[in-house]
Structures are given as C-alpha cells and as structure tokens.
C-alpha cells in the first residue's frame, strides 16, 4: 500500500469531484497546500469558478497547477472527457477523490427523478470515476489512491431517504470490491479508501441553516481526520463528529448487522418493539 507522502507530494496530481463546496473543496485545498496539482470537477460552473480561486490561493503555482472542469459525473462520457483533459494537461493522476453527491430527498414511491439523479450522481458517479480513471492509475505504476465518499447512512440505512441510502450502500460495496481487486493485481501501487463522514456542516446538509450546529464537524475537520487516517493506511475512514464518537458508531453498526444474525425485523433500531432494547444496548 502506498504511503501518503508518496502520493500527496509536490507536482503529483489530484482529481476531486464535487469540489465546488463542502468536503470536496476542503480536500482540494488540503491537496493544493501540500504542493499537488489539483483538478476540481463539479457541475455548478459558477461555484466551481469561485472554488478554483480559493484553491489557487493555496498553490505555489496556481496558473499551472490548479484547474477547474465542469463535469456531470452521472454521465460516463463526461467523465471520460474529464480524464482526457486531465491527462493532456498533467500526464497522469495520482489521487482520485470521487466525492460528488446530492441529497434532494426521496421516498419509496416518490418522484422517479429524485431516484434517478441520486443514484446517477452518488453511486454511478463513483463507479464512472473509478472505472474511467482507475486503469490508467494502475498502469502508470506510481503510488496512487482512490478515495470514495460513502456515508454512515449506507451502513445503518436509517429510514427517511431510501435513494440516498441505496446509493451509499452501493458505494461501500463497490469500494470494498475495488480494494480487493487492487490488492490482488500484481505490481499494483494503487490503494482504495472509503471515506465515511459523520455529521458535517456543508451546503448538502445545511438545510437552510447559516450557522454550524454544535454537533457537526466542519468540512475541514473531516478532511483533517481523513488525512490522518490515510497516513495510517486505513481503508474504512469512519469519522466521528461533536455528537457521536467512534464507540457509538461501532455499536450502531454492530446492531444493524445483528438484525440479520438474530433475525430481527429490518431497521429494528427504529421498530417500536426494539427501540428500548436498542437504547439499553447503546448505554450498556
């Protein structure tokens, strides 16, 4: 597995999707501050231009090392065009962060458009990015990383937004398969990592609020934790926040798996017959 320094070094190239705000922008800034060349990709042209200026302010060579490219990650042909542009400019990619995500809300029998868009961006965007960029990252033979942004909602799948849960559960399964494939590819120097944020105050989660809730982390805190986890070589980057520590996350995840093992009703944590049992388990 490549170490973080061998990937995030001066003149190495990072591509970040969903880079116009939130975790993606914070990551792009962190990579630029380390001396990397950074490609910011997002669908929102106006916000992307502003993000490029912010990232350029942290680069030693902004004119040559920072670029933004409008991209709809749900469209494979657009991602292929992104790769061609990046390779023409920089030659190779050392870090790919498939981070683009949306959350318009969904219900099981709600509008089809919400399902199509969420699955297209949050799941297929990760798959397109990995499949389009990944083979070239393996082929160039240098240390490299693919970081896919998942969610705790893709693990414990709480009720309320099934399309988002399905997409993020798919990201988890896909990234686990990717890690297995990469480590069994002879001579491969590319590692895979699953970022699992906690409650992070971003435009995606703000829901109209202008001030960060006390329980939320900032995007910068999340990226700092991600960098520390990558330095350790972690695959599962399970982020806490100001309300939920790792021990609580572990119990919630274990309880969700226990629904299958103990043949409880699905999502028993929210089932009236099991709510009190779950609370007692959590306290114990």
Write out pLDDT tens, residues 52-71.
Answer: 999 999 999 999 999 999 99
Q: What is the pLDDT of residue 69?
A: 98
Question: Confidence band (pLDDT; 50, 70, 90) for 203?
Answer: confident
Cβ neighbour number for residue 183 with a 10 Å cutoff:
13
Give the C-alpha separation, 194 to 200, whole Å: 16
Whether the pLDDT of residue 18 is over 80: the answer is yes
Question: Confidence band (pLDDT; 50, 70, 90) for 208?
Answer: low
Cβ neighbour number for residue 198 with a 10 Å cutoff:
22
Give the C-alpha separation, 218 to 206, whole Å: 11
Prediction pTM value:
0.96
Whether the pLDDT of residue 210 is over 80: the answer is no
Q: Are strands 144-149 and 37-42 parallel, antiparallel or unpaired?
A: unpaired
Q: What is the pLDDT of residue 152?
A: 98
Beta strands across the sheet bearing 190-196: 66-70, 37-42, 13-17, 95-98, 144-149, 190-196, 236-238
Annotated catalytic, 281?
no
Give the C-alpha separation, 77 to 179, whole Å: 25
Write out pLDDT tens, residues 76-121.
Answer: 999 999 999 999 999 999 999 999 999 999 999 999 999 999 999 9
- Residues with Cβ within 8 Å of 175's Cβ and at least 6 positions away in sequence, in order, are 126, 148, 150, 192, 193, 194
Give the ranges where the chain is alpha helix by DSSP (H). Answer: 4-7, 22-33, 45-56, 62-65, 76-90, 112-118, 124-139, 162-183, 219-232, 246-261, 275-283
CATH number of 4-243: 3.40.50.720
Whether the pLDDT of residue 5 is over 90: the answer is no
Q: Where along the chain do the CATH 3.40.50.720 domains lie?
A: 4-243
Question: Confidence band (pLDDT; 50, 70, 90) for 206?
Answer: low
Q: What is the mean pLDDT of residues 197-202?
A: 93
Write out pLDDT tens, residues 213-252.
Answer: 999 999 999 999 999 999 999 999 999 999 999 999 999 9
N- to C-terminal Cα distance for the chain? 37
- Residues with Cβ within 8 Å of 149's Cβ and at least 6 positions away in sequence, in order, are 18, 23, 97, 98, 99, 101, 126, 171, 195, 197
Say which of 164, 236, 274, 281 is annotated catalytic.
164
């Amino acid at each position: 597995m490549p170490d973080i320094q061998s990937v995030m070094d001066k003149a190495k190239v990072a591509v970040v999707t969903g880079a116009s705000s939130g975790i993606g922008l914070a990551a792009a800034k962190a990579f630029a501050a380390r001396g990397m060349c950074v490609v910011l990709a997002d669908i929102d042209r106006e916000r992307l231009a502003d993000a490029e200026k912010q990232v350029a302010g942290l680069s030693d060579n902004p004119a040559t090392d920072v670029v933004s490219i409008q991209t709809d990650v749900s469209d494979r042909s657009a991602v292929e065009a992104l790769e061609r542009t990046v390779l023409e400019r920089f030659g190779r990619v050392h870090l790919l962060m498939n981070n683009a995500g949306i959350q318009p809300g969904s219900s099981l029998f709600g509008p089809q458009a919400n399902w199509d868009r969420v699955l297209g961006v949050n799941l297929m965007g990760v798959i397109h990015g990995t499949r389009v960029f990944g083979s070239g990252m393996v082929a160039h033979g240098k240390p490299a990383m693919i970081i896919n942004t998942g969610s705790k909602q893709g693990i414990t799948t709480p009720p309320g937004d099934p399309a988002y849960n399905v997409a993020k559960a798919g990201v988890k399964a896909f990234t686990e398969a990717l890690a297995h494939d990469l480590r069994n590819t002879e001579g491969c120097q590319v590692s895979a990592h699953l970022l699992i944020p906690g409650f992070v105050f971003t435009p995606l989660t703000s829901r109209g609020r202008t001030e960060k809730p006390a329980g939320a982390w900032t995007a910068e805190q999340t990226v700092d934790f991600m960098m520390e986890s990558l330095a350790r070589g972690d695959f599962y980057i399970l982020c806490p926040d100001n309300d939920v520590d790792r021990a609580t996350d572990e119990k919630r995840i274990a309880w969700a798996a226990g629904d299958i093992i103990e043949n409880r009703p699905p999502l028993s944590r929210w089932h009236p017959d099991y709510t009190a049992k779950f609370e007692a388990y959590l306290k114990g």
